[in-house]
Structure 1
């Protein structure tokens, strides 16, 4: 469960709208509204991503879509492959732990 939000949604929306419509610096708007400037900077970036103005962040809806696309359980093939890899790594580790003997001439 995500952590509770420190700032109400209405304040977040108002602050983002003010930055985007007035063009005032984020730090000034944040100070006027009593918000931490880095929190407001993140909100503005997310609003830009949601509006399609940024491509370096996921939109608000995309993380939920990714969760739905990811299977909840591993398939049997993946489980078997992991078992094989674990056995192989244990075998290699055991071989590395054995003391080496010099061949006699």
Structure 2
């Protein structure tokens, strides 16, 4: 299970990459420098920056809000499937009972 990162740290990392990317030959190198400075992985910083761009509409992809809605709908779908399975089992049980 992924560990929870403080949202303030995430926002700070994204802000630092944006503010200092012109000081580096590439955005990737800016991400590496920020990740070392903050003590988080380079991949985490890359994902945070990418997700922020998606959320702002500057890049294609699933926004954070859409992702949360998808998670909620999948959980609801799973619960409904379980309910249907229980109802089917109950129907089969009661249908097989002698009257």
Q: Which of 66, 69, 73 is the equivalent residue of 1:62?
A: 66
Instruction: Go from structure 1 to structure 2 and tell me whether the alpha carbon gap of 1:32 and 1:64 turns closer, same or farther (over 3 Å shift).
Output: closer
Residue of structure 2 in register with 1:14 after alignment: 12
TM-score computed with the length of structure 1 as normaliser: 0.57
Residue from 49, 56, 71 that aligns with 1:44: 49
Higher relative contact order (CA 8 A, sep 6+): 2
- The alignment's C-alpha RMSD in Å is 2.5
Q: Which moved more, 1:39-48 or 1:60-69?
A: 60-69
Q: Distance in 2 between matches of 1:4 and 1:31?
A: 18
TM-score normalised by length of structure 2: 0.60
Q: Deviations over 1:51-90 (max 9, x none)?
A: 10110x210001233356667246x9xxxxxxxxxxxxxx
Q: For residues 66-77 of structure 1, what are the structure 2 equivalents within 5 Å? A: 66-67=70-71, 72=77, 73=80
Distance 2:2 2:41 in 1: 17
